Amino acid sequence: MTHPPADRLFLDFQAAIAGRYSLERELGRGGMGVVYLAREVRLDRPVAIKLLPPSKTSAPGLRERFQREARTAAKLSHPNIIPIHAVEEMGEFVFFAMAYVEGETLTERVRNRGPLAPSEASRVLRDVAWALAYAHGQGVIHRDVKPDNILLENGGRVLVADFGIASVVAGAGALSTGEVVGTPEFMSPEQALGEAVDARSDLYSLGIVGYFACSGTLPFEAEKATEVLAKQVTEPAPPLANVAPLVPRRLAQAIDRCLAKEPADRPDGPAALAEQLSHALEQRRELPVALRAFVKHDARLDGSGVLLWPFVMLVATPIAGMLTQSVAVGFMTLISGYTLVPLGVLINRARKLLNAGFGHGDIGVAFKAEIDRSREERAYGLGHGGGPSWFERLLRWIGGIGTGTAMVTLAIMNSIPLGEYTLMTTFAWTLTIGVGSGMGALIMLQRRRDVDAEFWGRFWTGRFGRWLFGVARMFTSAKALPASLTHRPTELALGMAAEQLYDTLPKETRQQLRELPDVVHRLEQDAQRMRARLEELQEALSDVGQRGTPGTPDPAIGARHDRIVADLSAERDLVQQRLKDAVAALETIRLNLLRLHAGTGSVRSLTTDLGLAREVARSISAQVEGFREIEEAL
């Protein structure tokens, strides 16, 4: 095995630690030391050793600062923080040994392969936020959060390294020497000014890390460090959406909020940020292939066979009539061909999805994910916010007037025979203009929104779609194993489990509990409504927090802002409670069904719980109606 030429420091350090550690190669250098890959002799394991160069140990306070880094980091024990094995001092050498991570830094990942996908960026930022939340809970501020200090393990784990300038809370932003410590491109305004810093300073740095991970660029760059620091203090960061339009709106908003100049305008803490990112990850999790295929193809009456069927029926209908010498038979052939055949196709596709382990409740989740993805792609292609353009509004206006004029002309033609030619010409032209403009507006709408997916989504999630799945369930070959539940909201997973348990009950018992499927479905819908409302309220609270005016000279504005926050918070708490009630009712039904299967429950007890569940559903429905009335009034 060949080795690169070693420098004098490498040789001297190896001589000092011989028998304890065996150095292999240098991994990197930074302002706080040199990092080597080594093997710990006693345990025969790879380690990374960080050494403070002896040439710097004479600098006032630097040796103590380096030892403080090691002691601080060694106290932290978290899955997303690199563990410190030992802190040692041998003569002129001060060093610590930490776990060696096989992988790459976030900087290397972005520089070599470009910006991260939104889902991957969300996961990395969430894991770093978890690590920082833990450290802050231990009274430690990192103070140097940057991509070089974020390691991506080959197995997928994200680890935070180098608490090299971390200080116990109650320390100041500057060292006792007055030196401001950190990396200018990732430094918060308060840290750049040498002011006292807290956990919100790390959030600002994490926001820049997210900006870099999603776009491959930095919000503030300049030739000199002092110029970068000046920008950190005085200039607002360009919105992430301007440089990375494909980043989902909520992720971009979370990163932009971290970059607020005022610490009070940033998220409440890394734990709150991690929760937002986890929620975004749950929403955007990749759908299983069976659901993706259903949403994109099987849910729709497309395909060459289905599209050719109307032409086949046009030929088959007269043939059937001639063979039977009956117009009625031909007519019935035509009607059944245009209704029963498509119906059979859709039922068979629903049966296929059921056999894959998915139920009707999964359809709404799948269509929502597909529509959200399509909306982002279309908004990027249009190059604007996704709203209707002035030309689309003009086409709608012309289409409405033209079609309306044509209908009025048609009514006049039927009542006044005079001027028939003129009226027919007017009717033809206005109808042509109206329909043509309407088609143009529809085409432009399709560019902004996936109208086809929205239509089929409403079709399948409605009553008729539920009925199709009910019919398809009778033709499933066997009880399919439930598919992975990771992509389903809790209420849908519970509802599907309850329906499967109900279907395996004896027929007589099912007859006694015949109201159960409707109650379960209603609770599912109610929980989904509450979850959607909760998302809206969380987003509204985030927006109000961003636009807040702390310290405003106008007391009336401040009081109004506080009142809005209080009202939104109160409604959010109520919605959270209603969501919990709906999920708890579903859980109770599922548990009682399990007891019924095990022979320890009774139909009577389950009937009582169904009555209580209906009360919960009625209460939620009343609240939803209240929301609707308030919105209409506003």
pLDDT digits (tens, 9 = 90+) for 325-353: 555 544 565 556 556 677 777 888 888 88
Cβ(28)–Cβ(35) under 8 Å? Answer: yes
3-class secondary structure, 24: strand
Q: Residue 90 belongs to what H/E stretch?
A: strand 84-90
DSSP state of 265: G
What pLDDT sits at residue 628? 61
Residue 441 has pLDDT above 50, yes or no: yes
Whether the per-residue pLDDT at 66 is higher than 80: the answer is: no
**Among the ranges 74-88, 177-191, 387-401, which has the highest mean pLDDT value?**
74-88
Rg (CA), the chain: 33
User: What confidence score (pLDDT) does residue 60 get?
Assistant: 61
Could you give the residue numbers annotated as active site? 144
Summarised one tens digit per residue, pLDDT across range 271-312 is 888 887 876 665 555 566 677 778 877 777 765 444 455 555
Distance CA 542, CA 82 (A): 32
3-state secondary structure of 469: helix
DSSP β-bridge partners for residue 84: 98
Task: Categorize the per-residue pLDDT at 486 as very low, low, confident or very high, splitting at 50, 70 and 90.
Answer: very low
Winning range, highest mean pLDDT, from 98-102, 181-185, 308-312, 413-417: 98-102
CB 524 within 8 A of CB 618: no
Q: Is the pLDDT of residue 59 over 70?
A: no
Hey, which residues does 93 pair with through a beta bridge? 90
Place of tokens 């160069």: 53
pLDDT of 488-511, one tens digit each?
677 777 887 888 788 788 888 888
Q: Token pair for residue 464?
A: 């008729």
- Considering the chain, what percentage of its residues have pLDDT values greater than 70? 70
Query: What is the C-alpha separation between 275 and 600, in angstroms, rounded?
Result: 39
Residues 324 and 322: their CA atoms lie apart, in Å, by 5
Mean pLDDT check: name the lowest of 52-56, 190-194, 543-547, 571-575. Answer: 543-547
Q: Which of 9-13, 110-114, 576-580 has the lowest mean pLDDT?
A: 9-13
Phi and psi, residue 17, nearest 5°: -110, 10
Average pLDDT of span 554-576: 79
* Residue entry with tokens 């999964």: 362
Task: Please count the other Cβ atoms lying within 10 Å of the Cβ belonging to residue 338.
Answer: 14
Q: How high is the mean pLDDT of the chain?
A: 75
The closest of 243, 242, 229 to 192, measured between CA atoms, is 229
Q: Is 187 helix (H, G, I), strand (E, B) or coil?
A: coil
The pLDDT score that the predictor gives to residue 171 is 38
Looking at the predicted structure, is the pLDDT value of residue 20 above 70?
yes
pLDDT band at 538 (very low <50, low <70, confident <90, very high): confident
pLDDT at 307: 47
CB within 8 Å of 295: residues ≥ 6 apart: 287, 363, 366, 367, 369, 370, 453
Q: Which residues pair with 410 in a beta bridge?
A: none
Extended strands (E) in 448-579: none
Positive or negative, the Cα torsion across 618, 624, 627, 633?
Answer: negative
Among 23-37, 49-63, 68-82, the least confident range: 49-63
pLDDT tens sequence across 225-282: 888 889 989 888 999 888 887 787 788 888 999 999 988 888 888 888 888 787 666 5
Q: How far apart are the first and last CA of the chain?
A: 76
Q: Where are the alpha helices (DSSP H) in 285-389?
A: 289-293, 304-324, 327-355, 361-382
Contact 616, 582 (CB under 8 A): yes
b/e string for 271-306 if b means 16 or more Cβ within 10 A? bbbbbbbebbbebbeebbebbebbbeebbbeeeeee
Measured between alpha carbons, how far is 209 from 107 in angstroms, rounded to an integer?
Answer: 9
The per-residue pLDDT for range 183-213, each reduced to its tens digit, is 788 888 988 888 888 888 999 999 999 999 9
Portion of the chain with pLDDT greater than 90, in percent: 6
Cα dist from 70 to 59, 87, 95, 198, 321, whole Å: 18, 6, 8, 20, 91
Q: Using the 8-state DSSP alphabet, how is residue 78 labeled?
A: -
Least confident of 137-141, 199-203, 432-436: 432-436
Q: Three-state SS across 227-253?
A: HHHHHHHHCCCCCHHHHCCCCCHHHHH
DSSP string, 29-67: EETTEEEEEEEETTTTEEEEEEEE-GGGTTSTTHHHHHH
Predicted confidence band of residue 626 (pLDDT cuts 50, 70, 90): low
